[in-house]
């Protein structure tokens, strides 16, 4: 059935003109045919469209991990946008505004927090600043032959990357409800206490004869190390989370980063100190790979801990929930494979790059869950300070 495009009256094939307005039907048919042809072309175009390609590895992996955070779908993150502020000029006032966040007068209201991905930049300045100091001290110790600079080399070599990573997570805490003073306390105290707990737990672990005789670790050795050290750091995270009653995932991530960074810095300082003539090499290697070690492993465990805790009072039963065990188990596995030192494609460097990439994918999934949580709180929460949620 055709209709007149001029007046809308129904048309029959017997008449050459519209019975209502008198418009020639031939022209109308031509227009109708044109519309039919366009519709047929559109249908043909749709039918000829390629079947969507299967999801990428990133989408598949983040979808599975996201399921255990209570969210759904893949996690989409634009690294270019995430680090877009790194290459821009920033004033000292901007840096100071970041550092003064989290006090009683600077903690924003829930309605003003951001649920969007942050664009941290200050961490890169910290990295460059301490990196330059490290190189200066190395020059003084080696080229100028002043061995009094060696303690400085050990300190800056051990602390530069962990501290820079910690500032990154400080900037990513969109609630702005934890001061940098508090973060530094967790960094130093949490790092030292977690090493103390770890050394204590090692008394209950026995290693293989192969490791004791030749220093070659078996899988059981590395899994034991991963479990002991991740548990040691987790117990300290639990202490700080219970003390402040944190219930935001992003807060848990920051506290985990502080404990993990402190542990990494103190441990690396010990390795550098014991390296003898290889001091500089050990310092450089440990600094290069620190971005994917204790810092992110503890971040994963702590983020998952607060994720399952939610607004409830902490209970050790929460550590037995599948959602927490998945992320904690991944941290232990990453740690064990890291210590095992297997060569992927014949290269240990490729192994470290792969493990670092996997660890940060997990971290991004947890950050995404934290931002989703922030979005829900922002929509339904009161207009009071965000600190009221955990004090």
pLDDT for residue 343: 84
Nearest CA to 190 out of 234, 231, 247 is that of 234
pLDDT for residue 27: 46
CA dist., res. 11 & res. 214, Å (int): 95
On whether the CB atoms of residues 313 and 375 are closer than 8 A, the answer is no
CA dist., res. 62 & res. 68, Å (int): 10
pLDDT for residue 346: 77
pLDDT for residue 9: 62
- 391, burial (CB in 10 Å: exposed 0-12, middle 13-18, buried 19+): exposed
Scan for tokens 């759904």, then name that residue: 72
In the chain, DSSP assigns E strands to 2-3, 10-11
Q: What is the pLDDT along the chain (391 residues), one digit of tens a residue?
A: 566 655 656 666 566 666 666 566 554 444 445 444 434 444 444 444 444 444 688 889 999 999 999 999 999 889 999 999 999 999 999 999 999 999 999 999 888 899 999 999 999 999 999 999 999 999 999 999 999 999 999 999 999 999 999 999 999 999 999 999 999 999 999 999 999 999 999 999 998 887 776 678 899 999 999 999 999 999 999 999 999 889 999 999 999 999 999 999 999 999 999 998 899 999 999 999 999 999 999 999 999 999 999 888 899 999 999 999 999 999 999 999 999 988 887 788 999 999 999 999 999 999 999 999 999 998 886 544 454 443 3
Neighbours of 120 (CB within 10 A): 18
pTM flag (> 0.75): yes
pLDDT for residue 39: 46
CA dist., res. 163 & res. 332, Å (int): 23
Q: What angle is formed at CA 263 by the lines to CA 260 and CA 269, rounded to 5 degrees?
A: 135
On whether the CB atoms of residues 363 and 256 are closer than 8 A, the answer is no
């Amino acid at each position: 059935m055709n209709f007149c495009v001029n007046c809308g009256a129904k048309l029959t094939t017997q008449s050459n003109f519209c019975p209502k307005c008198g418009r020639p039907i031939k022209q109308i048919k031509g227009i109708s045919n044109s519309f039919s042809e366009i519709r047929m072309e559109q249908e043909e175009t749709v039918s000829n469209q390629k079947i969507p390609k299967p999801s990428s590895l990133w989408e598949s992996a983040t979808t599975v991990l996201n399921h255990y955070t209570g969210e759904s779908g893949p996690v989409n993150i634009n690294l270019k946008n995430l680090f877009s502020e790194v290459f821009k000029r920033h004033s000292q006032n901007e840096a100071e505004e970041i550092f003064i966040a989290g006090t009683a007068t600077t903690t924003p209201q829930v309605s003003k927090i951001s649920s969007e991905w942050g664009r941290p930049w200050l961490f890169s300045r910290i990295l460059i600043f301490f990196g330059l100091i490290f190189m200066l001290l190395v020059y003084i110790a080696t080229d100028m032959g002043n061995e009094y600079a060696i303690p400085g080399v050990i300190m800056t070599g051990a602390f530069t990357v962990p501290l820079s990573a910690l500032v990154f997570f400080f900037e990513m805490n969109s609630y702005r409800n934890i001061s940098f003073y508090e973060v530094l306390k967790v960094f130093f105290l949490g790092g030292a206490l977690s090493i103390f707990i770890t050394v204590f737990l090692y008394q209950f672990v026995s290693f293989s004869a192969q490791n004791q005789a030749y220093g070659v670790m078996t899988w059981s050795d590395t899994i034991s190390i991963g479990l002991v050290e991740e548990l040691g750091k987790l117990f300290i995270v639990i202490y700080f989370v219970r003390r402040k009653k944190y219930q935001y995932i992003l807060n848990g991530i920051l506290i985990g980063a502080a404990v993990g960074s402190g542990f990494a810095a103190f441990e690396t300082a010990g390795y550098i100190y014991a390296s003898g003539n290889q001091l500089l090499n050990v310092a450089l290697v440990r600094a290069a790979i620190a971005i994917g070690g204790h810092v992110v492993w503890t971040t994963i465990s702590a983020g998952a801990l607060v994720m399952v805790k939610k607004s409830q009072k902490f209970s050790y039963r929460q550590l037995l929930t599948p959602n927490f065990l998945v992320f904690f188990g991944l941290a232990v596995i990453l740690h064990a494979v890291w210590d095992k030192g297997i060569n992927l494609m014949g290269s240990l460097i490729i192994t470290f790059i792969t493990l670092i990439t996997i660890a940060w994918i997990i971290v991004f999934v947890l950050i995404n869950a934290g931002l989703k949580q922030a979005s829900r709180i922002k929509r339904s929460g009161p207009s009071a300070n965000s600190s009221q949620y955990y004090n």
